[in-house]
Amino acid sequence: MNTSSTPLSLHEDRLFPSDASQRAIARRLYAEVGGLPIISPHGHTDPSWWAGNAPFANATELLLVPDHYVFRMLYSQGIGLDALGIPRADGSRAPVDPRAAWRVFAEHAHLFRGTPSSLWLNHVFHEVFGLRVRLGAQTADLYYDTITDALQTPAFRPRALFERFNIELIATTEGPLDPLDHHRAIRDSGWSGRVVTAYRPDEVVDPEHEAFAGALQRFGEITGEDVHSWDGYLRAHRNRRAFFATMGATSTDHGHETAQTADLSRAEAEHLFARILKGGASAADAALFRGQVLTEMAAMSLDDGLVMQLHPGCCRNHNPHLFARHGRNIGADMPLATEYVRALKPLLDRFGNEPQFRFILFTLDESTYSRELAPMAGHYPSLFLGPAWWFHDSPEGMWRFREQTLGTAGFYNTVGFNDDTRAFLSIPARHDVARRIDCAVLSRLVAEHRLDEDEAAEVAIDLAYRLPKAAYRL
């Protein structure tokens, strides 16, 4: 197809029901929420963008290199990551002209038809850069030049885009060793944009993490604690959590392969930690240690008020070739079947009934929505459900989430939407998709006389704005 004259347009009714009466309701509901400020309480954008406010280099560096949703699809069709300029594990890159990498992407734009990436990218192209023809081989250079030229202007600096997108808050995610210099620079700059951090301690919690030994050593150095004793190790976490809170953190995040928790006695925990420190711990010991630390993190959350997030059920770095060459976060992670009811019981036995403890659960295993997660969130006062996540943040995934959790958890044991993205410019697009889908869901409830329209409008506003602020204590 010659895309040089094929229009790019965004239909005003996209993602709304095909039924005319429901579509009219969805339009009215969306009018209440479409322009609300964006709360992005969990994600992986780079705080250096707002600290330095330097121009983004070019279209490739902004839209292709950071977005594993995009290059994952290209890799699945036999396009090597080196050809796209994706950094290697050692920090080097293949000598690829960014324009050439963009042309490869444009030539394969058809691969994204029907995917959420297509929705997000077309929103960016149309709404942010004013492009009105489709991306393809014939328009690759037009896109590259239009985007790259715009990025050199003041209106497209990171802080200007933050304000243009009507973002009220973005939370980034940093590891326990991060000095948070960029967050300090943002805070001290006097800029009014609110960018906060979140504490993600995986590298000093997971004995199977490739950086665990070195990270643990550094953990002790920066906290001044003896992290080779169980008490010192826990004090070091409390130390870093308190530091992160001074930089705006209101949450912690934990990315474990399973949802296993444990509640060992002090002596048992000390003996387990000693086995971990010796090295060569069994897989069972590593899993038990991660589970015990989750319960310790819950205890700390009850003390310091940080909201606890758990993102389990992912087999990280499934492709060893890509992991060796390019490292983590290159689109080779895979969903796993995940059990929650028994796995979380040790933690919930201690803290599930504490209304001041806030625990947000995510899943990549949709079979658990109605069987496990919704009933648990519909019972425990501490437990809330995060939105459809990662592989499931598609329109279809968002519908399934609402259909399978509404009956038991309702809307108010969920936390609204978070985008969980590294791709800055996709944030307004992702939130727009979520708002449209929620309005579509609510329009059906109104049409079926299960909700009055005024109730649906209030729910729509809550899901888009109020619930994430409340859930993340923002």
Distances (CA, A) of 360 to 153, 305, 352: 40, 13, 12
- 314: Cβ–Cβ under 8 A, 6 or more apart, which residues? 255, 257, 333, 334, 335, 336, 364, 390
- Phi–psi pair at 230, nearest 5 degrees: -60, -45
The pLDDT profile of the chain, 474 residues, written as one tens digit per residue, is 676 779 999 999 999 999 999 999 999 999 999 999 999 999 999 999 999 999 999 999 999 999 999 999 999 999 999 999 999 999 999 999 999 999 999 999 999 999 999 999 999 999 999 999 999 999 999 999 999 999 999 999 999 999 999 999 999 999 999 999 999 999 999 999 999 999 999 999 999 999 999 999 999 999 999 999 999 999 999 999 999 999 999 999 999 999 999 999 999 999 999 999 998 889 999 999 999 999 999 999 999 999 999 999 999 989 999 899 999 888 889 999 999 999 999 999 999 999 999 999 999 999 999 999 999 999 999 999 999 999 999 999 999 999 999 999 999 999 999 999 999 999 999 999 999 999 999 999 999 999 999 999 999 999 999 999 999 999
Instruction: Report the run of H or E that residue 278 belongs to, with start and end.
Output: helix 266-278
Instruction: Select from 285, 340, 287, 335 the least CA-distant residue to 313.
Output: 335
Which residue in this structure is represented by tokens 């393809």? Answer: 136
Could you tell me if residue 114 is left (phi over 0), alpha (psi between -120 and 50 degrees) or otherwise beta?
left
The pLDDT value recorded for residue 388 is 97
- Residue 328: the pLDDT is 86
What's the pLDDT score for residue 3? 66
Give the pLDDT confidence score for residue 326 in this predicted structure. 93
Q: Which residues of 18-51 are buried (b: 16+ CB within 10 A; e: fewer)?
A: eeeebbebbebbbebbeebebbbbbbbbebbbbb
At 1 the pLDDT is 64
Would you say the C-alpha torsion 309, 337, 117, 55 has a positive or negative sign?
Answer: positive
Do 440 and 26 form a contact (C-beta atoms < 8 A)?
Answer: yes
Predicted local distance difference test score (pLDDT) of residue 338 = 98
- What pLDDT score was predicted for residue 329? 82
In the numeric block, which tokens belong to residue 211? 């950086």
pTM, 2 dp? 0.96
